[in-house]
Structure 1
Amino acid sequence: MSDAPEVLPEIREQCKELMLSGHQIHQIMDRLLEDIKLGLGKESHAKAIVKCFVTYVQDLPNGKEQGKFLALDLGGTNFRVLIIELEGEKFHMDPKIYAIPQSIMLGSGIQLFDHIAECLANFMKEHQIAHLRLPLGFTFSFPLTQKGLTKGILERWTKGFNCSGCVGQDVVQLLKDALARRNDVQIDVCGILNDTTGTLMSCAWKNHNCRIGLIVGTGSNACYVEKVENAELFDGDTTKPYVLINTEWGAFGDNGRLDIVRTEYDREIDQYSINKGKQLFEKMISGMYMGELVRLVLVKFTKSNLLFGGRGSDLLFKRGNFFTKYVSEIESDKRGNYTNCRQVLEELGLNHATDQDCSNVRFICECVSRRAAHLVSAVVATLIDKMDEENVTVGIDGSVYRFHPRFHDLMVEKISELVKPGIKFDLMLSHDGSGRRAALVAAVATRER
């Protein structure tokens, strides 16, 4: 972190708990590796915190996929439907975004899947393909236990969803049932995947060294290529050597493994979340919480008279008002220039902030985002070391990685320090959005048939 002399020594001192030592990072790597092994093990999986679900995806794209495919991408407050035409290295994509009202996010599963089926049918009619029977790849970005390429049991809702009657159910079947209730379009669901699997698939389509798919956005998760013999729960085709594993690492630390680095701010975030005690790793790094972490630090320092002359504002003191995009904006200011920072503080009713305050606020943002980047780097380096291949590309998507001005560089620097000597790695931003990814899973499944 470049030296900004104006940062108050008291603030530097109190922010030290947000800076991870080399020893702490190596402890985290060791603990994650133990948890991954527990998730992969037949006897230990049920009690494992990092679930390491088998995805049943064993084939990566090879550039020979062709045809028309539908994709459905459900992972947040909106979902997308796409029609994609693939021909070797060429593709044409036509997407449409549909909103999910809050009432449906918190309603019944039948309401949710009827809403999705209605939008799918409308989409096919608008594109004049309602008469065709098309393969569909389904990106479903919530924790799943996969029982096959087209069977996924919902473990729990995250990201503000709480639809009744879905947990413990096969979400592919719920979608098929909703389509059957309408009976006006013919769709073959031929693969369900989460956003990490999709990220890996789409990056592998362009770069055949891609072995890890990573999301650092609203939430965080990763999948990676594992040897079939290590995936003890896998009961698919053992003639193929590899299978993709969806780690669900957002839950890492739910058993106390991260207590060595969690702070009062992390505990408060968890206290007021809708899934208390769950997804603790995700709560330290992802876009859903990063802004709120910064806000909690600002509130503490304001109340102890280290910021804004001890005068906060109603907006600053209200939960959820410091958005994660503010962190990226503030850190995008050139050194010594506080244009974005002032704009953010004015939006929060802090018109009386001085240059000194701006410098302190930026430093706090840097501490929180750097910690997130270092935590992500530690867990990525753990996967790279575990696979032990000479050259690994990590496909990455998500708003934090995409929009934060220094996240990529912080990760490259830290992973370089952490991986075994002799391993080359590369971080690749996924440009396609999860739509093409889901279509690629459908395309690879159709190709394999």
Structure 2
Amino acid sequence: MGIVVNNFPLIREECEILHIGDKQIREIMSRLHNDLLKGLGKDSHANAIVKCWVTYIQDLPNGKERGKFLALDLGGTNFRVLIINLGENHFDMQSKIYAIPNHIMTGTGVALFDHIAECLANFMKEHDVYEERLALGFTFSFPLKQLGLTKGILQRWTKGFSCSGVVGEDVVQGLKDAIARRGDISVSVMGILNDATGTLMSCAHKEPDCRVGVIIGTGSNACYVEKTEHCEMFDGEPGKSDLLVNTEWGAFGDDGALDLIRTDQEKMISGMYLGELVRLALVKFTKMGLLFGGSGSDLLFQRGSFYTKYVSEIESDKLGDYTSCMERAAHLVSAGIACLINKMNEPHVTVGIDGSVYRFHPHFHTLMCEKIAQLVRPGLTSFHDMENDVP
């Protein structure tokens, strides 16, 4: 037994709490803008929720970069090792995904970096660069306070990681130490950044107007180009007018700033929880007698049994009486992007977007484009997004 048609009005009424009106969206944008200013300010940064870490990256790619490079991408339960060849008329990239076992995710930092170094060495052997000395870019997608291009202090673990001895330490040094312990490979770590910054950089290589990078996946974050004069925490070499800022906007609302839209089941945007939130809603409606005749299965009441991918699969059904695309997550992230576009106040802005929720949800792209067009300031309507097409 599924849904009794007569229950539709009651279910819609219960779901109304998830709807976010334009007035609320505008208020969210205003609060985010204020939090961005706090994160950028020297006197207010320490107590800021949205940290706006400076990345020390002041130049964007111009498409003329050449050479052979290695990359590490650590941001979840899997990590990727890549080798990239950039030539004048060709681009070649090969990669391999490696798992991080749970005991390493919750073990010591030494064990984590030793595991990464071992996988890196194996990858270099497989691609016949074991004897070469290559430059390496390190994508590390956890809250990071950067003190330079190759120095980043981990602020806290997220996404199920709890490795000891890493918080408060330089993660680049942790990787270097693990490579040194092996003694069999030679790489030069040339920069550390997170996935939002990496998305901005890779898209800027193809699209010169790219000024914002956004991740909508396991978590959500954004990086954007700010005027150096506005970045009071920056203590690098002066002279460059622009500086990339890692907002860490996933923390936005931790101080109650989003309580105006908070519900009983809440995680705003994060793909790590979207499936579970749907399950909790189904459980609620079942216990209210609105679904399945009030009788749920053991599987329905099992935590984590409804995967986020199911949401995308259901939303992929042909539009009709049983589908509805009122995605509050798409509108929330649109509010954040529009806030950044308005703050930069540039007439031509491309936004690079990556992440599993954005890639695989069938309507997220369209919903975002429509909403951002409504929210950006008049005169800045030339926004268009550019999905990061790195495999």
Cα distance between partner residues in 1 of 2:9 and 2:58: 53
Among 272, 277, 281, the residue aligned to 1:293: 277
1:33-182 equivalence runs, <5 A:
33-88=33-88, 90-182=90-182
Cα distance between partner residues in 1 of 2:319 and 2:130: 56
Asked if 1:408 corresponds to 2:336, the answer is no
Cα distance between partner residues in 1 of 2:95 and 2:168: 30
Q: Match of 1:431?
A: 389
Residue 82 of structure 1: how far off its partner (Å): 1.2
Q: Match of 2:19?
A: 19
Residue 89 of structure 1: how far off its partner (Å): 5.1
How many residue pairs get aligned? The number is 386
SS state of the match for residue 319, structure 2? coil
Paired letter, 2:221: N
CA contact (8 A) 2:7 2:290 kept: no
Paired letter, 2:383: F
Q: Match of 2:333?
A: 376
Measured against aligned partners, the alpha-carbon deviations of 1:21-45 in whole angstroms (never above 9, x if no partner) come to 1111111000000000000000111
The root-mean-square deviation of aligned C-alpha atoms, in Å, is: 1.3
CA contact (8 A) 2:60 2:205 kept: yes
Cα distance between partner residues in 2 of 1:80 and 1:381: 31
Residue 315 of structure 1: how far off its partner (Å): 0.9
Long gaps (5+) in structure 2: none
Q: Match of 2:305?
A: 321
Residue 237 of structure 1: how far off its partner (Å): 2.4
Paired letter, 2:286: T
Cα distance between partner residues in 2 of 1:335 and 1:93: 38
Identity %: 68
Cα distance between partner residues in 1 of 2:126 and 2:89: 27
Q: Which of 5-14 and 168-177 deviates more?
A: 5-14
After TM superposition, what 4+ stretches of structure 1 lie above 6 angstroms from structure 2? none
Long gaps (5+) in structure 1: 267-282, 338-358, 434-449
CA contact (8 A) 2:218 2:355 kept: yes
Give TM-score, length-normalised by structure 2.
Answer: 0.96
Paired letter, 2:296: G
Q: Match of 2:295?
A: 311
Paired letter, 1:328: S
SS state of the match for residue 196, structure 1? helix
Q: Match of 2:342?
A: 385
Paired letter, 1:327: V
CA contact (8 A) 1:139 1:194 kept: yes
Cα distance between partner residues in 2 of 1:207 and 1:192: 22
Residue 236 of structure 1: how far off its partner (Å): 1.3
SS state of the match for residue 163, structure 1? coil
Q: Match of 1:395?
A: 352
Give TM-score, length-normalised by structure 1.
Answer: 0.84
